[in-house]
Amino acid sequence: MTVLRSAQLAIAAAALVAAACASAQRASLAERVERLEAQAAAQDNAQANIELLNRLNALQQETASLRGLVEQLQHDNARLRQALREQYLDTDSRLARLEGAAIAPPPPAAEGAVTAADPAGAGAAVPTAGTPATPVAAGTAAAAPTGVVAGVAHAPLPGPPAAPMTERELYDSAFQALREGEYAEASRRFQAYLEAFPNGQLAPNAWYWLGESYYVTQNYAVALQAFQSLLQAFPDSNKAADALLKAGYSQFELGRSAEGESTLREVIARFPGSDAARLAQSRLRTLALDLP
């Protein structure tokens, strides 16, 4: 009996040891599974972080590329504006040279004859700067506005007042100052011409170049006034299209964009096929490209 009991106890102990070993093995396996799952989750998180970082870098690169593109477009736009401005000034310069060569001086008047530049006949003095303009007879021509632009002081021309100048000489003097870049002096001389010959043969041209002398010096308000005076007094002159175009440009420079756009469309409608109409169309296309 004693031996049998001892054997039973030994078997029971062995069973307990086996059960403990099996339990330990199961615990070890569960821990390993948990560790593997934790490692897999960590790898997934790392991969997700890497993908997120790559996506963020790609977005940063795309943003930098877009920023560079915007800066390039802004630079190109500024260069285009400058090129257009230079083109306008070059066109005006060419017109100035052509005008100086194309308008021939009037033939000398016969002794005692009455001419537009010398209404009183040969030997009569022609008004100079600082002297009253010759009155226009009723019914001879439409009334033109005064030669002095409102709000702008008019200084007399240099030189002795005893030396009168003909209409052509006074105009050529002003035009020469404009061609030499003496814009302030040119504006004074054109105003002197318009005071003396408000309805002269070259009055429309004088009004236009008076406005131009102010436009190139960025005095856009007075330039606009001169261009509008030309259009009011000489709506059918050969300078009307250019004056209307420059009036639109002046309005844009003054921040009156809606009026400027309307004026440019009026140029296209009133003077189709002209150089002024083509320039107006080009300016409107440029404005359309500037819209967001």
- Within this chain, do residues 131 and 274 fall inside the same structural domain, yes or no? yes
Residue 63 located in a structural domain = yes
Residue 2: pLDDT over 80: no
Indicate the pLDDT class of residue 174, thresholds 50, 70 and 90. very high
Residue 181 located in a structural domain = yes
Mean pLDDT (the chain) is 74
Within 10 A of 260 (CB to CB), how many other CB atoms are there? 21
Greater confidence (135 vs 181) lies with: 181
Indicate the pLDDT class of residue 27, thresholds 50, 70 and 90. low
Q: Are 191 and 213 in contact (CB under 8 A)?
A: no
Question: Can you tell me the distance from the alpha carbon of 105 to that of 243, in angstroms, rounded to the nearest whole number?
Answer: 24
Indicate the pLDDT class of residue 93, thresholds 50, 70 and 90. low
- Within this chain, do residues 184 and 267 fall inside the same structural domain, yes or no? yes
Residue 44 located in a structural domain = yes
Residue 106 located in a structural domain = no
Q: Percent of the chain beyond pLDDT 90?
A: 40
- Within this chain, do residues 225 and 158 fall inside the same structural domain, yes or no? yes
Q: How far is CA 109 from CA 114, 115, 121, 197, 234, in A?
A: 8, 7, 9, 18, 26
Identify the sign of the CA torsion 110, 114, 115, 121: positive
Last-in-domain residue among 78, 96, 112: 78
- Within this chain, do residues 286 and 147 fall inside the same structural domain, yes or no? yes
Q: Are 149 and 137 in contact (CB under 8 A)?
A: no
Which CATH number does the domain housing residue 257 bear? Answer: 1.25.40.10
- Within this chain, do residues 130 and 55 fall inside the same structural domain, yes or no? no
Indicate the pLDDT class of residue 283, thresholds 50, 70 and 90. very high
- Within this chain, do residues 148 and 284 fall inside the same structural domain, yes or no? yes
Residue 143: pLDDT over 50: no
User: Per residue in 219-268, pLDDT tens?
Assistant: 999 999 999 999 999 999 999 999 999 999 999 999 999 999 999 999 99
Residue 96 located in a structural domain = no
- Within this chain, do residues 48 and 130 fall inside the same structural domain, yes or no? no
Contacts 24+ apart (CB under 8 A), 214-220: 214/183, 214/187, 215/246, 215/249, 215/250, 216/89, 216/92, 216/183, 217/183, 217/184, 218/253, 220/250, 220/253, 220/254
User: Per residue in 181-190, pLDDT tens?
Assistant: 999 999 999 9
Indicate the pLDDT class of residue 271, thresholds 50, 70 and 90. very high
Residue 114 located in a structural domain = no
Q: What angle do CA 147, 206, 172 make, to 5 degrees?
A: 115
**pLDDT computed for residue 259 by the predictor:** 95
**Domain range holding 70?**
1-78
- Within this chain, do residues 74 and 152 fall inside the same structural domain, yes or no? no
User: Per residue in 39-88, pLDDT tens?
Assistant: 878 887 878 888 888 887 777 777 766 766 666 666 556 556 655 555 55
- Within this chain, do residues 69 and 129 fall inside the same structural domain, yes or no? no
Residue 222 located in a structural domain = yes
Greater confidence (130 vs 216) lies with: 216
On the CB side of 125, how many CA atoms lie within 13 Å of its CA? Answer: 10
- Within this chain, do residues 158 and 258 fall inside the same structural domain, yes or no? yes
When mean pLDDT is compared across 87-101, 130-144, 182-196, 252-266, the lowest value belongs to: 130-144
- Within this chain, do residues 51 and 179 fall inside the same structural domain, yes or no? no
**pLDDT computed for residue 191 by the predictor:** 96
Shortest CA distance to 206 belongs to which of 239, 160, 228? Answer: 239
- Within this chain, do residues 169 and 277 fall inside the same structural domain, yes or no? yes
Residue 84 located in a structural domain = no
Structural domains in the chain (count): 2
